[in-house]
Structure 1
């Protein structure tokens, strides 16, 4: 507090005497042209622009200046600062505010003392302050709490955490110390129950988050779980028909044992009053003229004569209300009363309904969307202005918005409209990142002499906020390059028609390709003549075992492969074609693919149907005066678009 007051006094004195003695208050009502800082070392000017930019070009007033000063001080970047007003021009028609600041030090190291049970790495994970952060007392207090909560989760209920800051060796830096007194770890030796006749101990233990120490459980005691465990026991009984059940007390006592491990051991006893088991006696309705009893009960699940399940019963009440809410009757009043029959142990429920007029939507308002256009959001809502308010339609709209994957949060609000019977539907969205950039290297022998393929891909699934998907990709290797483009729209002509196009252009260089340029030159396909072979072979027959030439083999010998061409024999013997007989060629390919479809909304979910077509144009080039490929399809493609 003293530092704040001192800063205020300095500012007042500076602005009222030293700065403005030349001409009394000449700066008042003059536009602020610049806000500058002297003394910044660790803080970048851009980090302050978010605060100062909103004051630029506004006329200087005392109120505005105090607001600026308050915002700067709330950043917790400075120990103190003073301000000076300078004329921006000779005519003094504009003012420059110049702050001379003393920055708060940075954290050089974070040191933990007394952490015998938890590692430094684990402690660093839970605190907000990090090395090279600006020291901040409020965040230090928060980190003390975070460390303490971590220890409590690990079973150290008596832990204490204190902090202190010491100047570091380097100027402008401090060391932050957390001193920890862990105390003893507390573990649960046993959990037991008193008063439970309906449910066994093992059944109730299964409902608890707290666990006894066992082979697969450390049995760490967390005091905060006790209330959760009480609620879990009560819920189990409530859902089994025991609506009057109570956990009347939880007693925790020390457990004496012979273990000498420095830990405390406790026993936990839950004292229970079960009460009577109650059966469901049904629903009785009064005041329902718009819907029959059968229509109201259509989606309920409680069964007459069965044990009451409180969770299921609450869901049934919501289902009955939704019959009205889904049809716009949101102003209805619904009162519920229990009728208990002690003779049969049944509880029936009287539901008195006061039916009122429907509500209609007066306005649909979208907030929070900085990128996504309003119409992209509105088209996902199965509601329009003037429609009857419908809970189910709103829920469907929220699901549709989440399914776009444009938003991390979608929260509806339904304030009353301008008059009775009208409602506004406000959709509050929080956008998430829809842009994805991928890049990297892939190592593969197929890439060529340098076995590396580099790739870069950019994709935005909500391009310019219009709900369209646009992607551009690039892939580069020594022997191949490809650029691709993709575009799709799932709302073509503002209908649930989808259409997409993918376009790519690639260049490939093929190396070490067999030729057929030496005599004999072949012009037939392999399927037409089994003696078609690449250079330097001529296709004559040889014995499959010895490689000796066979002038006139029989058809049976050829079929049985007891004779082979000289080429097939060489390959079988592990030989390869010498590089001098091989060639290179290049290929350019333009590929185009299109797709379309339609999405149907059904009671069981979305059903999409679609189809697609693709085609490609290819161009092959090599110097035909020097080379002649062995593969006939390559020869046929020379200088031809296919």
Structure 2
């Protein structure tokens, strides 16, 4: 029998071990077989190894990373010596690419939640390049992430649970063509199946079912065509927030528990699903029991009588016990408190409802790397030692958002034990400290040529750039015959004092028909922080107006204004819920012969009633009056934010009464809104109301970086006489 020599094997093993232990310098990496993939795309794999001492582990790492791209059906390599260079090698990688992709397409079925261009830009599989399953699945994941980042529940073929996914992303490879498909499902219907023999529970659940709802597409189908204009099928694709709110609503009830949740597709002209929730009643006792009564333990916020009423001895059914527990939970829920409930049979014959009230141990503020904590900590309504209350959490969120100090605000709580939590207030600082804008605008100018409406605008503004609660803006608007320059500055809690300070300087010059009017003014104000009883402010203003033509007349006036504001609005630009009340009075002091000597006041009340998540009924009543003694007249006019929209009124007067009403449509967190309005107003010298003006129309508002909230719309005059001509208007500034 012939013996096999072990020398070649030992030699090869020695070379392999030497290459690992002693290594070599990798001088270069060369590829053979690249067709659609460029070498530059692969530099990230091997670039860090070039010119370095490496071993075979590095070579295997390079090959492994190349395989992860998924472009190649075969990869082979050899190491070649560099002539004349001892211990230097070139890695030659021979690849066989997959067939190139001839076409990549995207198909979307559904209402179109995300712009198709946005989804297409996330696809990393490219036409004309070698096919890669890695890029194929990466593209599907990228599309799913876009939907997830926008709050929707998205599933893919690799997802585990698709029950609650109302967006499904898949892909298909057909030869050299690849199709990515997105299916967006509307919720057609929501059904409850009740498994119970308890008639009392069945009757009660019919009442509860009215409170447990989600937007259903079948309701949209039955809507009046006119109402559909203000709605969209997009609103019927449930997002994560709506589903969470739905199940949170279910968690408010102790009568029942969920035993199954299922979905099924519905055959419509649009992808649709039906959601079926199966519930059964909770069982405390299987048969009626005799009790001395039902009492409570652990409750400190409410008394036992407030929670369960009078204690009565008698026979209690399962439903009777659950109703007592539900009443207890309802009392706390209505007030916004978080609690846990348990039952305990006492040796004294009473059934005890054990109430665990949750306290706040600590409040942590994170993320404010630039902003000083003292600037905004008073806006945080939740305090250590307080009982955890969702209303206070909501107030905290709203007030921090309204401050406009941060890009985003999030509130979370971390459990400490069964009876206490830590609140975490996480804020995200703004990316940009300053906002510089410039451009050209045009607006109609009455009794002037059309080209007089053009104006150039530049502005620099910032809120909280250095973290001290400061804000300032500088803006210049220059037209052919007018110049407007304004500077504003304010700061919240300077030197940690519990107040806000503001100041401004403005300059305006206008030339018309040989007459130049120059006006400049400066003001300084101080106000308290928002107190439980409201906010108070005091402002001093000096203005000087010079009119020059053949003669020159200068008017100087000092004004002192005191104001009081109480508001619970959820947003200062476009509120959708809450109310406000403002009372302001001004005393004018003449500092020149023509200076104004007068007293004026205005009172304003607004109310916003949410009809749904995106629709609100808004109303405002405004009344202003001037009592003039002498000097340049102080007048009001139906103009700017205080106007009968869509009616051109040039009349001025010392008495103004205005009522604005509208149905407002706005998606949460969107920068625009739409409304239908009806306005009624009066301007005159006394409260005669003999020249009422009213209008009805539509308005669109949009928050723009340079201008803030820009509102424009059109209206029809109704009083004093109906006019069939639409009148367009523009307003800069917040809504009422």
TM-score of the two chains, using structure 1 as the length reference:
0.47
The structure that has the greater radius of gyration is: 1
TM-score of the two chains, using structure 2 as the length reference:
0.42
